[in-house]
Structure 1
Amino acid sequence: MPTDQALLTWMLDSDPALRWQVERDLAHEPRAVWQATRARVPDEGFGAALLAEQDADGQWAGGAFFPADFDFDGPEAAPGAGQPWTATTWSLKSLREWGVAPERLEGTVEKLRAHCTWEYDDLPFWDGEVDACINAWTLAAGAWLGADVTGIAQWFVDHQMDEGGWNCEWVEGSTRASFTSTLNSIEGILSYEQATGGTPELRAARTAGEEYLLRRRLLYRQTTGELFAPWAVRFAYPFRSFYSALHAVDYFRAASLHDGVPPDERIADAVEVIRAARRPDGAWEQERRHPGRVWFEIDVPAGEPSKWLTFHALRALEWWDAAHAGATDGAG
């Protein structure tokens, strides 16, 4: 079902980082229209503001995953305080997702290679780390910017668990895959494939990771059939590192389109969670803000209708419903 014009108008009245995506995926504007809006992202609004925060050495906030001034023993590191979202990993992730052309970060690959190391053992930035989620975001960033991240790509093949997924805590001894680590991992792998073509071995790893989530219908423990976590059905934007039904369906939409295959029916429950969360006014609500230091807010406070969540939810539902339109039309 096409998006209501009033909702479209509301979403289009937004930062270029969101507007071009609404134009492309919901308004279905000609390529020249949304490409022109996308080209504005580095020079206006969120994109320009975040690019302006880049340090001369290529980093953001002086660090790879954490700001240089982060006190690992201070109140900001206390439970519930939230991950700071200002360092290089997170800034690159945002710029890539907003559609900034890699040419606008010319020299960043070389600067990060020379100046940026991980907080874990001072490992070189483009070689990755031991954390699956961190490696996924670095893999995606490297593919986008043209860095050699083939070693990280191979890391995912070498560290895939028997269940088919990954767990960021494997280095602490975890032997079972996790929903969150697996979703972040396959997102990074898909971004790498989209940019480089990937390898058959890596594609097989991604497919196995998808199967890990699909066997659980994106939401449930395989052992008990219970919802694996209450926050899985709550929505917040930016997605950051967090798992939700919307985040997961958003990924499976992208993978389906990339692979040229229809939606897998095992995501139906997650799709209906998204549909059920719609407000009477047609929008989706920001249910929380993930705590932690930010450069600036890009979405509304908790309790308000979110243009970003509404965009992602409507895009997911349009994709799903379009694939099932024939069956619906032929019913009865």
Structure 2
Amino acid sequence: MVAGDLIPWLIDSDPALRWQVERDLLHESPAVWEATRAKVATEGFGAQLLARQDADGQWAGGAFFPKDFDPDGPDAAGGGQPWTATTWSLNFLREWGVDSAVLRARRTVELLEANSRWEYDNLPYWGGEVDCCINAWTVANGVWLGADISGIVEWLVEHRLPDGGWNCEWIEGSTRSSVHSTLNSLRGLLAHEIVTGGTEATRAARKSGEEYLLQRDLFRRLSTGEPIAAWVDHVAYPLFWFYSVLNAADYFREATRLDAARPDPRMADAIALIRASRQPDGTWRQGRRVPGRMWFEVDVPEGEPSKWLTLYCARVLEWWDGESER
């Protein structure tokens, strides 16, 4: 799926990206990619982010926002939130492949239990709060680190909406699901199921959320068949909380492998959108970047060939093409 002349370009990258190229695109033996993955905690992005962890276990002094974040200040005025606080930092470290033992050796779970509180109602970190997406990331990070997040898992199951998905605006009275909230909730439930096997209730919730997206072909309005919004096929790295056909397809790539299932044919048009965005040189270009303060740069500016997006898109297409023809 990736032209041979792009391989040196992809391999010449941070260990956080390189081990995934080795595993998912080059199909190297575990001995090769695991050796590269082990470097993430000591070199490059992973090491830099670990070095920024506070003595109290947090990053930037806060659970979801930095301690110094002013909702009426320049960060908010610029249209973006900072991406430096604890939840976002843990998300990056987990997604980059840092061994959870590194964080456990730092007593991160215990320190966050003692010191970190959500900005919403000062609730304890591992107990979650009222936002579906935040709770889903806490589940994913918790099962990765070995924290007790069983209460949040039950909360996610209980807060599924009648149409099968989730919406973080339920607290404001919303009764219709959101693609953003649904995809993020699914990722949390999938992470939990991969580690624990899940329960009958969590598996049923995951399947209903998947059906919510599949009924819409991942990008269409159920009522009209028109695209949900102009941004559904626009992609940029980091993905953060934003929905796109790539983000959704990457989720289904992981979920079908857990389920030993073939891709659902209702995804075909969404996959075609991903395929169509490939450039003549075989790369995928960085889309419009999400504003917000970062600890350091992890990808290229808008319009340039992105190694991260080329990895994500190429492995989704390889999965789709290989499994659909099986």
TM-score, normalization: structure 1? 0.96
Please report how far the alpha carbon of residue 229 of structure 1 lies from its aligned counterpart in structure 2 after TM superposition.
Answer: 1.0
C-alpha distance in structure 2 between counterparts of 1:90 and 1:274, whole Å:
26
Gap runs ≥5 in structure 2 = none
- Give 1:198 deviation, angstroms: 1.4
Matched residue, 2:242: 242
TM-aligned CA deviation for residue 258 of structure 1: 0.8
Deviation of 1:324 after TM superposition, in Å, equals 2.9
Measure how far apart 1:75 and its partner are. 2.6
- Please give the alpha-carbon distance, in whole angstroms, between the structure 2 residues aligned to 1:278 and 1:90: 28
Q: Distance in 1 between matches of 2:52 and 2:76?
A: 23
Which 10-residue stretch deviates more, 158-167 or 195-204? 195-204
Find the aligned partners of 1:297 and 1:129 in 2 and give their Cα distance. Answer: 29
Question: What is the one-letter code of the residue matched to 2:44?
Answer: G
TM-aligned CA deviation for residue 54 of structure 1: 0.2
Instruction: Name the structure 2 match of 1:152.
Output: 152
Matches of 1:91 and 1:285, distance apart in 2: 25
> Counterpart in 2 of 1:130?
130
Equivalence map 1:241-320=2 (5 Å): 241-320=241-320
CA contact (8 A) 2:262 2:324 kept: no
Give the equivalent residue in structure 2 for 1:202.
Answer: 202
Q: TM-score, normalised by structure 2?
A: 0.98
Could you tell me how far apart the structure 2 residues matched to 1:63 and 1:268 are?
Answer: 41
Correspondence for 1:218: 218
Aligned twin of 1:329 = none
Which residue does the alignment assign to 1:83? 81
Contact 2:250 2:316 (C-alpha < 8 Å) held by counterparts: yes
2:214 partner SS:
helix
1:98 paired residue number = 96
User: Quick one: distance in 2 between partners of 1:157 and 1:189?
Assistant: 9
Structure 1 residue 319, shift from structure 2 partner: 0.5
Greater than 3 Å deviation, 4+ residue runs:
none
Contact 2:2–2:282 under 8 Å retained in 1: no
How far, CA to CA, are the matches of 1:219 and 1:15 in structure 2?
32
- Structure 2 distance, partners of 1:84, 1:195, is 30
Q: 2:109 maps to which residue? A: 109
Structure 1 segment 116-195 matched on structure 2, within 5 A:
116-195=116-195
- Give deviations 1:22-76, integer Å, cap 9, x for gaps: 0001000000000000000000000000000000000000000000000122232
CA distance in 2, matches of 1:8, 1:246: 21
SS of the residue aligned with 1:301?
coil
Cα displacement (A) at 1:246: 0.6
Distance in 2 between the 1:194 and 1:296 partners?
30
Q: Which residue of 2 aligns with 1:51?
A: 50
In the alignment, the residues of structure 2 paired with residue 175 and residue 235 of structure 1 have an alpha-carbon distance, to the nearest angstrom, of 28
User: Which ranges of structure 1 fall in alignment gaps of 5 or more residues?
Assistant: 327-332
Q: Are residues 1:36 and 2:35 paired?
A: yes
Report the Cα distance in structure 2 between the residues aligned to 1:253 and 1:266, rounded to whole angstroms: 14
Once the two structures are superposed, residues 55-105 of structure 1 have per-residue CA deviations (whole angstroms, 9 ceiling, x without a partner) of 000000000000000012223223x52121000000000000000011101
Aligned partner letter, 2:74: P
Secondary structure at the residue paired with 1:186?
A: helix
Structure 2 counterpart of 1:96, which letter?
A: R
Aligned to 2:66: 67
Counterpart of 1:330?
none
**What is the CA-CA distance between 1:4 and the residue it aligns to?**
1.9
How far apart in 2 are the matches of 1:195 and 1:47?
A: 22
Q: Does 1:325 align with 2:315?
A: no
Q: Which amino acid aligns with 1:4?
A: A
Give the letter aligned to residue 218 of structure 1. L
Measured in 1, the distance between the counterparts of 2:324 and 2:157 equals 34
Aligned partners of 1:190 and 1:91: how far apart in 2? 20
**Residues 263 and 324, structure 2, Cα contact 8 Å, conserved in 1:** no
Q: Distance in 2 between matches of 1:83 and 1:199?
A: 35
For 2:6 and 2:324, the matched residues in 1 are separated by 23
